[in-house]
Structure 1
């Protein structure tokens, strides 16, 4: 198995050349634009932050560069092509930094959290920032006073929408919302939704930093792209740390996510790999807070909805009437339709794991918010035959199995919640996590029962 190593250069004056170790494949590319500004969308992020009267610290800038490289590696190195088991890749990064000793002090933490997040074997090495290359940061940092007190992630999903509504409706201190625009299937509904939120609360300063996709001109020859995007949450939180590093005092990084998705327990024993994302798992958040503390960035990653199901988030939203108006714009689907020709204007597939949890939430809150306003491509469930060997039936079958096991023996919940990752640092919350898991799975079970969803296995049928 070849280890692929991303080695960014900063223009023609950067003489760094990565030393190849063993059978490594070093992927070298330039991230300094012709105008001498930083590429990978970083210079644009610096300019957007300046509009909020803020300048990131040099470590904050390096965090964003690292996050962009993680995302680039994750999306450009195909798992099947680059791994022996169809999943686990070996990935290396060379990060230019100002203080090598500082970053070497977090190397172990960083590699551990990346392995937990993506399931790959990561190595991150640090080298000096080229002396002749400017960072692009303002020299008037001390004169700038940020207009925000904290950071909140805004993905455009239902949970991040509720998080924004709750914060703004309750008139809390000003937050800077940050987004990753990704591709067009995500960026437009995300932008449209944020526009509606901004219109709803005209008396508050509602600002957003929208980060574009990190791209390079160089093609990684011989490599196909990858669509599992496990590393996207590292970019998302890294962007928040970048923005928050402009603050001179402790600040929150709010990640609004329902607790069922945060735990993301595998639906059956075969799904521990690709179907068990860990983007908001408690263990992962603790590693982030450890990393930020060691780097001197005063942010604390936190999820105020860690003990709420998605349905409970909908029911307890501080502005249900507005939520009713805009919920249909929010995007929860794992694989949204990319254009009008694929999906007929219905971005939600209706059968992926996030879509099913969303449908269960709206069914739970139906008496308060009304019928689910989301247009799904898989709409009339009762009329469909869900073959578990096909994509449309895979997750329904998984939920059918898991909810059946829990109904048979609810005490299993306390064992199941450990399957995605360690919870040894959250010993005082174990009972709460188990109860949350039961409530969340019950939402899905009630939805499937109400819709008459049944699955079958074509292999069993052919036996």
Structure 2
């Protein structure tokens, strides 16, 4: 599937190759005024209201990420020959084409790692940045940026940053059911801390009647939001602006619990290889931002135990969101998906009462909704595989994409994470 993607001011150039097979995407244009698919319409105004003036290069990175998010949502996996792997081509216009062209291989490698699709990216023309800053723009009074999702990991990360003396700007993807939570967390973490919430607002349903549900590219757009904001911070010594992607190491690596969960069948939002590829891309184009995940070698349980403000964490932890099906269950945690199991296991290790409230609470019930649910069975199978065949055999190649100097420590962390899940299953007598 081919997409010709242009910011609103460059849309007249969209058919320069004369193809009738490509799908047009117009970025930063309201859906009702665009000729084709759209994304990013609300971002310009959100950034303007925040009195920020991001760099042109950061806008280019966002344009690339928006193009990828539209293509990912609009290209249905079920229509591909094997029912999963897609062939996606992007024809892009950015403000600084010559800066980005030499680094397209890094971009396509990052996209391929996230989605296991075949990506072909071309930057065929230039376009002006469709953003006019307000007259009152000023560099923010912050020294770093952190993603704040409303989840438990980003909450712990935010608490630890503030307690260590950092002054972050929090950046969030606007999600129904989590918006007030994100703003509330930012307020509670420190007086005067800023939180900017953005939404790609991708409109792709017209192409197939529905969106692709896997949408593995979303982690790239989260980072692009944060890079956009980070480009407005000027450190006095010229050093890179730290961008914190706070996620526990077990979910970051997301080891395949069973042979059926290899590759992009599991999400790779903060996988060290993905973050390394994006870092190389940012360095290559001169975006002075440093990606950091301080918890890449810690389990979720360890994060809770080691959090620097236990009192504040006790107050807010139950309010955070971890569930992969949160909206589906009317903004309640299902209790049985893998993120919910990791959350529940972390509370057990923390030795604090988990007041979350789960739709499916007793994982030991022997029915399809509880012990026999796919994600619960996958954890049980993983435990059995390690017991029978050993950890090294079960882990397989999931550690090969971790930096060599951290591979041993990552292996220990994954064993710790699996042990936390095991204690959760033992607690409920899952068999």
The question of a shared fold, defined as TM-score above 0.5 by the shorter chain, is answered with yes
Q: 1:460 matched to which residue of 2?
A: none
Q: Secondary structure of 2:22's match?
A: strand
* C-alpha spacing 1:8/1:421, structure 2 compared with 1 (3 Å): farther
Task: Give the counterpart of 1:377 among 359, 376, 390.
Answer: 359
Q: Compared with structure 1, are the counterparts of its residues 281 and 416 closer, same or farther at alpha carbon in structure 2 (3 Å cutoff)?
A: same
Instruction: Find the residue that maps to 1:221 and give its secondary structure.
Output: helix
The one of 381, 396, 402 aligned to 1:401: 381
Q: Distance in 1 between matches of 2:224 and 2:115?
A: 15
Counterparts of 1:25 and 1:447 in 2: how far apart (Å)?
52
Structure 2 counterpart SS, 1:382: coil
Deviation at 1:277, TM superposition (A): 1.7
Does structure 1 conserve the Cα–Cα contact (< 8 Å) formed by 2:279 and 2:290?
yes
Paired position in structure 2 for 1:164: 158
> How far did residue 275 of structure 1 move?
3.2
* 8 Å Cα contact 1:264/1:420 also seen in 2: no
State how far apart, in whole Å, the 1-side matches of 2:2 and 2:77 are. Answer: 12
In 2: Cα distance, 1:98 partner to 1:122 partner = 21
CA distance in 2, matches of 1:277, 1:211: 21
C-alpha distance in 1 between matches for 2:161 and 2:7:
41
Residues 91-133 of structure 1: CA deviation (Å, up to 9, x unaligned): 1222211222211111111011100001111111113334xx6
| Alpha carbons 2:25, 2:38 under 8 Å: kept | no
Give per-residue Cα distances to partners, 1:301-344, cap 9 Å, x unaligned: 11001111100111111122222222222111112134xxxx3x
Answer yes or no: is the 8 Å Cα contact 2:28–2:39 preserved in 1: no
SS of the equivalent of 1:199 reads helix
What is the Cα deviation at residue 411 of structure 1? 4.7
Shift, 1:151, TM fit: 1.1
* TM-score, normalisation: structure 1: 0.83
Q: 1:277 to 1:196 in 2, by over 3 A?
A: closer
Partner of 1:354: 339
Alpha-carbon offset, residue 8 of structure 1: 3.3
Separation (CA, whole Å) in 1 of partners of 2:145 and 2:105: 26
Distance 2:223 2:274 in 1: 11
Counterparts in 2 of 1:110 and 1:256: CA distance versus 1, 3 Å = same
Match of 1:239? 225
> Out of 72, 75, 95, which is 1:74 matched to?
72
Shift of 1:168: 1.8
Q: Secondary structure at the match of 1:106?
A: helix
What residue is the counterpart of 2:143 in the other structure?
149
Q: CA deviation at 1:207?
A: 0.8
What is the CA deviation profile of residues 53-81 of structure 1, one whole-angstrom value per residue up to 9, with x for unaligned ones?
A: 53111110111111112112212221102
Asked if the contact 1:152/1:254 (under 8 Å) is kept, the reply is yes
- CA–CA distance in structure 2, aligned partners of residues 442 and 97 of structure 1: 47
Query: Which residue matches 2:406?
Result: 429
Shift of 1:25: 3.5
Match of residue 179 from structure 1: 172
1:268 and 2:278 aligned: no
C-alpha spacing 1:392/1:213, structure 2 compared with 1 (3 Å)? farther
- Map 1:200-349 onto structure 2 (within 5 A): 201-202=190-191, 205-216=192-203, 220-222=206-208, 224-248=210-234, 249=238, 250-338=240-328, 343=329, 347-349=332-334
Two-structure CA RMSD over aligned residues (Å): 2.9
Shift of 1:139: 8.7
Aligned 8 A contact 1:40 1:68 in 2: no
Aligned to 2:5: 7
- Alpha-carbon distance between aligned partners in 1 of 2:218 and 2:400, rounded to the nearest angstrom: 18
- For 2:113, what is the secondary structure of its paired residue? helix
Equivalent residues in 2 for 1:48-127 (5 A)? Answer: 48-50=46-48, 53-81=51-79, 83-127=80-124
- The CA deviation string for residues 402-456 of structure 1, in whole angstroms up to 9 with x for no partner, is 122223455527x716337623xx21211101110110100000110111112xx
C-alpha contact (below 8 Å) 1:9/1:32 kept by paired residues: yes
In structure 2, runs of 5+ residues without a counterpart are none
Whether the 8 Å contact between 2:97 and 2:126 is mirrored in structure 1 is: no
> Does the CA contact (< 8 Å) of 1:335 and 1:349 recur in 2?
yes
> Using the alignment, how far apart are the partners of 2:28 and 2:427 within structure 1?
56
Measure the CA separation in 2 of the matches of 1:405 and 1:153: 35
